[in-house]
Chain A
Amino acid sequence: MPTTALEIAAPLNSEKSASFWQDAWHRLWKNKLSLFGLLVVAALSLVCFLAPVLCEHIIGFSYEQQNLALGPVPPNRVHWLGTDPLGRDLLARLLYGGRISLMLGLCATAVSLVIGVAYGAVAGFVGGKTDMVLMRLVDILYALPFTIFVILLTVFFGQSIILLFVAIGAVQWLTMARIVRGQVMAIKQQEFIEAARALGLRRRRILFRHIIPNLLGPIVVYATLTVPEVMLLEAFLSFLGLGVQAPHSSWGVLIKEGAEVMEEYPWLLTYPAAAMALTLFSLNFLGDGLRDALDVHGSKD
C-alpha cells in the first residue's frame, strides 16, 4: 500500500531548493535601479567611514582646519570642492559630515527598530485590551509636536549628539510599532498560525518561530525607508540650529550654512545638497527594490 502511494505522489524535482532569502536576493539582483541604489549607498558609506584616513593621506585637510587668510574659494586643485568662509575644506567637511549623517540615520533607525518591533509585536500578538492601551499611547505620543519636544529636550539636557539620537529615535519608533503591529495581526490570521496553536506550541515559540520570521520582510523594507527619513529629520533640526553643533558638521548643517550664502558661494550648497539627495534617492530605490523582492505574492509569472 505505501508503495502505491509513493508512486502516485508527484515526483519532486531535485533542483536545489531555494530559501525565501535566496529567492529574494535573486529578484533584487535583477532590479537594476535598486542595485544602483545599493551600490551608491555602499560606496558612500565606505568613503565616509574612511574619512579620517582619506583626510589625512589623500585630501590633506581635516574638517575643522581653518584657513582664515584663504577664505571661501571655489573648487580648485588644492581644495577639490572649495572652502567655506572660514577656509575649511568642503570635501573633508562633507566626508565627516556624511559619517555623522549616515551613522545617525543607521543608529536612530536601529533604535526605533528595536523598540518599535518589540512594542508592536507585543501589541499585535497579545491583542485585546493590552493592544488597545498600547496603541492609544502611541496615538498620544504621535500628537506631540516634534519640534517643541526637541526644544524642550535641549532646554533640559543641553545640546549633544546623543540628544539627537534620543529625540529622533523617540519619534521614529512610533511608526515602526504601528507597522509591525499591523503585520503581526495580519500574520496571526493565517492558517499556519492556527495550525501551530493546534499543535500545542507555546505562545512564545509561535511568536519567535512563526510570526517574527514572516515579519522580517516588511520590517527590512520599512527600516531601509526609515533611514532617509531620519537623515532628513536631522537635516531639518540642523537647519533650525537644533542639531549637530560646531565644529562637527553633518550634511544638514552644511546645507544650512550653504543656503545662507548660496548666492555668493553656490558650491557650498550644491555639493552637500547633491550628496544628500543622492543618498536619499538611493536608499529609496533600494527600499522599493527590497519591497518587490520580498513580497511573496508579487510576481505572477
Chain B
Amino acid sequence: MPLLTVNNLRVSFHTRAGVVRAVEDVSFELARGETLGIVGESGSGKSVTCYSIMGLLPQPPARVEAGQAVFDGIDLLALSHKELNEYRGLRISMIFQDPMTSLNPYLRIGQQLIEPLLIHKKMDRAAARRRAVEMLADVGITDPEHRLRMYPHEFSGGMRQRVMIAMALITRPDLLIADEPTTALDVTVQAQILELMKKMRQELGMAILLISHDLGVVSGLCDRVMVMYAGRVMESAKTPELFYETRHPYTRALQKSIPALQVKGQELYTIAGAPPDLLHPLAGCPFAPRCGYVVDYCTREETTPAEVTPGHRSSCLRVQKEKLSL
C-alpha cells in the first residue's frame, strides 16, 4: 500500500476579490521511501497542496473543498488539529524555504532540536540531548556539543538549513516534505544540502515530497516528478521518462525555457502569453492560451490526468486522444 495517497484534492482561497482556485483535482501517490518532486512556477499550487496535507493552511481564507490525503490508512484532512499533531513532527516533517525565518531567533538551537523528541517521543532531556548531538553530527555540523548552545543568528544560511533538516529528521519520520529547501541558498551550498538529503535518505529511508521550480534540482534527487500548472496536475512520471519522453506541452515548454540547455546566440525560448488567472479560470485546459499544440477542443473539454503509458500520466487532451508526440 502506498504511504500517501492524495485523491481529488481541491483547495480554494476565499478572498475579497473572489474565489481563487489554488488547487484543482490533484491526485497522486507516494510509496514508502520514494522521492516525488512537485514542479511548477509561482501560482501552480505546488506549495498549497503540501501545506494542506500538513494542515498548515489558515482556514479561512483557505478552504479544503474536497479530497482526501490518506497517510498510512488515515485521512489527514479529516483529522482534528489535536489528532493531526500526533502525526506532524513525528511521522511527517517539513522543511521550508527560508532558513532565516524558519528557526525561532529567541531559542537556542539545542532547545529547538530536542523539542520534537520531548513532545513526541517523550524522551527525557538527557537522552534527547544526546540524540540531538548525534543528529547534528550526522548532518555535517562540526563541534555539535558546542553548537547546541548557540542561537540561530550565529549560523550561516547553509548551516541553518542543515539544522532544519536535523530537526525534521530527528524523530525518524516516514515522510519529509521539503518546500523549496535550496532556493534561498548559494549554489555551492545548495549542492551540499542536496548531497546531504541524499545521504539522509539512504540512512533513514524516508519518503520525500520535494517542491521546487528548478528542474535541475529535481532531476538529481527525485524518483518521480509531477508537474503542476494553474492548480492542476499536468504530467507525472518517473524522472527519466519525464525528461526524455515528455508527454505534455507545458513540461516541454519548461524544459525549453531553461537557459542552461539553450544555444547561445539565438533568442531564448519563451512561453508566450501570461500566467493563468486563478480568479477566473477558463474552460478547458488551463495551458491552452499559451500552448503551441492547441486545437479547438482544448478550450472546451475538461482535462484530467490519465495514464498514457504505464506509470506515466498526462492531462494533455491531444496526447490522450491522438497520442501526440512532442
A interface residue numbers (CB < 8 A to B): 7-8, 10-11, 301
Contact = CB atoms under 8 A, between A and B. Distances in A.
B274 interface: yes
Interface in B264-304: 270, 272-275
B17 A301 contact: yes
Given A11-B274, A301-B17, 10 more contacts: A7-B272, A8-B270, A8-B272, A8-B273, A10-B273, A10-B274, A10-B275, A301-B15, A301-B16, A301-B61
> Looking at chain B, what size class is its interface with the partner chain?
under 10
- Interface residues of chain B: helix, strand, loop or mixed (majority): loop
Contacts of B15: 301
Contacts of A8: 270, 272-273
A301 to B, nearest CB: 4
A22 B274 CA distance: 28
Nearest to A13: B277
- Interface residues of chain A: helix, strand, loop or mixed (majority): loop
Interface string B32-71: 0000000000000000000000000000010000000000
12 contacts: A7-B272, A8-B270, A8-B272, A8-B273, A10-B273, A10-B274, A10-B275, A11-B274, A301-B15, A301-B16, A301-B17, A301-B61
A91 B241 CA distance: 87
A281 B231 CA distance: 47
A11 B275 CA distance: 11
A8 B17 CA distance: 26
Shortest 4 CB-CB distances between A and B: which pairs? Answer: A10-B274, A301-B15, A301-B16, A8-B272
A181 B61 CA distance: 38
Nearest to B20: A301
A10 B17 CA distance: 20
B151 to A, nearest CB: 26
B136 to A, nearest CB: 36
Contacts of A11: 274
A259 B210 CA distance: 71
Contacts of A7: 272
A231 B274 CA distance: 55
Nearest to B16: A301
A8 B268 CA distance: 13
Q: Which of A10, A11, A301 has the most CB of B within 10 A?
A: A301
A8 B272 CA distance: 5
A11 B290 CA distance: 13
